[in-house]
Structure 1
């Protein structure tokens, strides 16, 4: 059995060493492709492998076609829109993610971004505090639950909306107030932390109408995906509402324009860094290796994201 670790941006050494230990202990061969600069290198590397571990590397239909023996791809992280699920499913190739491994890193960043914007991006002038403010969690999954917990630690009143969690007890046991609609969440909260995936239903769903419902002085915090934001609608509402702020871990396609027009009211990290901690790096790497071994030895597919 041959496992490929394909990372254009390599894992930390402790993480890659951990992957090797897990894979080789199971009796498999590990091959490593790091810092590659051309797709042809990836196409060559996948030719005879049974499994692939990736980070943000793109597993396209072309890559899948080149990987004749491929049975499983594991994305070390939560998002998996860099894998062509349709092409993988057509070949009955299992695609997994490693949910929860990066959650704390992303949650801490979300809170940090709130404070950063509340204090005017750490520039001179009077800012505000997040204590006592209303925090809305848009999608109450692994990251959302942690953001809620940390928000409560700062003395925020926390609300949440998730159409897939209808049992109010799930929220109430965490001291979180459930709301009945996304519109109610945005109209009620001073900060909204976005954690929805980019799907056909959610792309551009955070639009002008939704954002215009936010209270005076509100801030939207996006550590999810840029595709869920309707950028034209965002620009329009920021132009009309000089009290609103937008901070993101995923720069908008029109981020340069937003920066020029709205100055201190917008901010994007230079590069997506939600999972960029040593701890998350190692956790996701080891989880990916363990999931591959469990798949081949026990048939486990708990974190499979494509179905047939």
Structure 2
């Protein structure tokens, strides 16, 4: 089960702590910052807190895509307001990455910047389909953005001035894979077989993907993680009786966690920001603790398709 590792302000600049923080994350623990470790202008906070995402068809978090410098899922904003939202999300992403580049230096030269998001909805009682709910325990997997064995690191900030953000966590990936993996509802995937026909099929998929066809190049690892994500959310018995730890993240606090390893759920709270970073397998301090390594150990086969890596 996850432990909370408090990052003291005095230790932010201490190089000696950087590897330790990486190790704690890879062990399945949560780095906790009692106060936001970078400047966040009140004007920007006020603007975010004034945003009201409404309508059942638009109950999605606002997403910022750094690679294209665009925001999506924004409703009812003027062009001026949209540009202000874009500037704020861009600034949050940059400040977060500057912090992490210093604090988690062993990762910084190889990681991949992924999406940031603004979460204006109250998580408690939010009406979403089961697989999209944040208040059910799960491990993260991105259906349209496979990671091919790399890690999903997420940094959260509670910008609500009054309300804590409430989380629960449960068993880590290794325990879940051993408990549920290999069953009829969650079979272990077949490894990558280097047969001629297998390589031909994968090459055709890759060619179709390059042509812009809606084909996701998903490795056996990504397929299992997506199935595990869905299985956990749909497993009412697991949600009810599993061991749980309860966490409270106060206003203006931050936390970071490998959400592909730590089963977690946001059970209440409104107004939070989040930045996702993909950490390459080769950058890890404890690679044997990564979910892909655990899955390969269990199945005794490769879970990553080298043909898809350079797509």
Smaller-chain TM-score range? under 0.3
Higher Cα radius of gyration: 1
User: What's the TM-score, normalizing by structure 2?
Assistant: 0.22
The higher relative CO (CA closer than 8 Å, separation ≥ 6) is in 2
